[in-house]
């Protein structure tokens, strides 16, 4: 079974509550395309730099996901990593051009 690798990039945002960690996670192999569907447009050409940080294992991504206050996920394996880290409702996952997309926020 091939090793699942995910792109993970950590962003720090200063808010009125202090520093917040935003984690962007994307399946390897999705960059360089624009996905269009009824639910909108997912431009992984323009926004590649938002998601493309470090290429990590699935297990490493699960650990990192638990540290973030805000999470943006693109791709089936990225969503599975979020499901391993948190209880995620399937209805929360949206598909854009056939690609699963999910945003999570800790309140």
Give residue-wise pLDDT tens across range 39-92.
899 999 999 999 999 999 999 999 999 999 999 999 999 999 999 999 998 899
Residue 2: the pLDDT is 67
Comparing CA positions, the residue from 15, 105, 18 lying closest to residue 65 is: 105
Cβ contacts of 80 within 8 Å, gap of 6 or more: 58
The stretch 12-27 carries a mean pLDDT of 91
Comparing CA positions, the residue from 86, 37, 42, 31 lying closest to residue 61 is: 86
* Pairing mode of beta strands 70-74, 18-27: parallel
- Whole-model pTM: value is 0.91
Q: Cβ–Cβ contacts within 10 Å for residue 61, how many? A: 25
């Amino acid at each position: 079974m091939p090793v699942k690798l995910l792109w993970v990039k950590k962003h720090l945002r200063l808010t009125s509550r202090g520093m917040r960690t935003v984690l962007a996670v994307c399946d390897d192999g999705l960059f360089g395309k624009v996905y269009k569907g009824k639910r909108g447009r997912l431009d992984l050409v323009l926004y590649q730099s938002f998601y493309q940080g470090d290429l990590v294992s699935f297990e490493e991504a699960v650990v990192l996901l638990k540290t973030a206050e805000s999470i943006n996920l693109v791709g089936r394996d990225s969503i599975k990593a979020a499901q391993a880290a948190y209880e995620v409702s399937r209805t929360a996952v949206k598909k854009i051009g056939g690609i699963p997309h999910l945003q999570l926020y800790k309140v």
